[in-house]
A = this chain, B = another copy of it.
Amino acid sequence: MKPNLEAQMEAVGESRYDEFVEATVRFHGYPAPGVLLGCYMVTAAQRQLPQGILYDAVCETAWCLPDAVQMLTPCTAGNGWLRILPLGRFALSLYDKYSGEGIRVFLDAGKVNQWPDVADWHLKRKPKPQQNPQRIRDQIRAAGERMFTMAPIKIRSDFLVKRSKGPIRICPLCQEAYPQRHGEICRCCQGDSPYEG
């Protein structure tokens, strides 16, 4: 999907909105405003990066933005090139995976008020049943990139280290493999299991 979409987007130029909607429905399940906004954010950041570099991504929230990154870049949750941080800000960064230098894009609360339905959605000023999803999408389409602000960033050097599990051992309780650094037994057996019983 990714290569096709990117090729199409170059071909269609300005009319990327429809491509974003189609890709969002396919990957995310429905045309969520947050993913559509994320598509504009990702492509805006990509244009600012030097050509041909290898880049990693950070999303400052787990809501919606990780899907835009995964749809439009090589970075995924499972390959380690995308980090999802529970920071609660609607922002993402793409950065050179070696130097840490890159671009941060965020939905600018000072600009978004020009598109009132998007602002109400972003700030949760209206309960969901009172929001009008089509109007939110129409405003996203009309605004394009104008509700975002970009700034250069440098990622902290501890983020540039490749993630590693370290040595692996078998948990004496559940008999499954786990990273030795978690302790004498695996985290599930330590009480972090998501399952009942």
Interface residues of A, Cβ cutoff 8 Å to B: 1-3, 26-29, 32, 34-35, 38, 58, 60, 62-68, 70, 74, 76-81, 83-91, 93, 100, 104, 106-107, 109-110, 122-124, 153-157, 159, 165, 167-168, 170, 174-179, 182, 186-188, 192-197
Contact = CB atoms under 8 A, between A and B. Distances in A.
A78 B59 CA distance: 10
5 contacts: A1-B27, A32-B79, A87-B187, A89-B174, A155-B196
A35 B66 contact: no
A108 B100 CA distance: 38
A188 B60 contact: yes
B177 A87 contact: no
- Copy number in the complex reads 2
Given A123-B177, A177-B122, A29 B67 contact: no
A52 to B, nearest CB: 16
A35 B65 CA distance: 22
Nearest to A190: B87
A77 B70 contact: yes
Contacts of A187: 86-88
A74 to B, nearest CB: 5
Contacts of A3: 26
Contacts of A122: 168, 177
B60 A66 contact: no
A106 B195 contact: no
A87 B165 contact: no
Given A156-B196, A175-B110, A29 B87 contact: no
Contact of A28 (B78, B89, B179): B78
